[in-house]
Amino acid sequence: MEKHFTDSKVKGVSTGTTILAAIFDGGVVIGSDSRASIGGEYVSSKTINKVIQVHDQIFCCMAGSLADAQAVTKTAKFHLSFHSVQMEGPPLVVAAASVLRELCYKNKEELQAGFITAGWDRKKGPQVYVVSLGGMLISQPVTIGGSGSTYIYGYVDAKYKPNMTREECQQFATNALALAMGRDNVSGGVVHLVVITEKGAEHVVVPGDKLPRFNDE
C-alpha cells in the first residue's frame, strides 16, 4: 500500500511492508520484512513475522492492516484445518487461496488486508497466488506486494527467471527484500524467508547485519 495513503486510511497498526513470493524449480520461496509501524511514524515492532503458516506446506504473507490480516489468517487457518480433515489429506494451495479470497471479498467493506499465498501440493506442485484488497485471486510465478514493493518492480522484472535453483531463488528474494527495505521507510528489520518444497517448509531468517549491501551503502 502506498505510504501516502496509509496514514488516513489504515486503522491502527499497519504493515507498511514488503512481501514477496517466487517459484523455483521444485519449490517456492515466500518472504517479508519485519517492521510494523503506526502511521508511518513509529515502529511498533522491529521483528514481526509476517509470513504465517496456514497449513503444513502453505504459507501466506500479510499486507495492509495488521489486525485485519491476522483475523483473516486465523479464520482461514481454522477453515483449512477442518477442510483437510474432511478431505483426509492436505488442502490444495488454490483451496487455501480461495478461502482467503472468499473472506476478503465477502467482507471487503470492513477489511483492509491483502495476501500472497504460496505453497506446495501434490497436484500442481509449487504455486503462488495473490489475493488483493478487494478479493481478486490470481496465480503468478513471482509476485511482490506491500508499500516497499514499488521500489523493486524493476529489480524483480529484470532478475527473476523461471526454473532457478533453490539457492538462486533464495538469493534473489533476499536481494529484492533488502533493496526494498533500503528505500521504503516503513519496511525494515530482518528478512523472513520460508522455502517450501515437496519435503516440507524451512524457515530462514537473514538478520540485519547479514543482509546484502549495495553500491550506495
Partner 1 sequence: MSSIGTGYDLSASTFSPDGRVFQVEYAMKAVENSSTAIGIRCKDGIVFGVEKLVLSKLYEEGSNKRIFNIDRHVGMAVAGLLADARSLAEVAREEASSFRSNYGHNIPLKHLSDRVAMYVHAYTLYSAVRPFGCSFILGSYEKDDGPQLYMVDPSGISYGYWGCAIGKAKQAAKTEIEKLQMKDMTCRELVKEVAKIIYIVHDEVKDKAFELELSWVGEVTNGRHEFVPKDVREDAEKYAKDSLEEEDDSDEDNM
Cβ 77 to partner 1 shortest distance, Å: 15
> What nine digits make up the cell of 177?
527484500
CB of 161 to partner 1, least distance (A): 28
Q: Is 15 a catalytic residue?
A: no
* Cα 168 to Cα 45: distance, rounded to the nearest angstrom: 30
Host H or E run for residue 17? none
Q: Among residues 6, 17, 73, 174, which one is catalytic?
A: 17
> Quick check: 119 and 13 in contact, CB under 8 A?
no
- Of residues 66 and 80, the one with the C-beta less far from partner 1: 80
Closest to partner 1 by CB, 19 vs 97, is 97
CB 123, min distance to partner 1, A: 5
Q: What value does the CA radius of gyration of the chain take, rounded to a whole number of Å?
A: 16
CB 121 within 8 A of CB 90: yes
What is the rounded CA–CA span in Å between residue 93 and residue 98? 9
Where along the sequence are the contacts to partner 1 (CB under 8 A)? Answer: 83, 86-88, 91-92, 94-95, 97-99, 101-102, 122-123, 137
Judged by beta carbon, residue 12 or residue 89, the one nearer partner 1 is 89
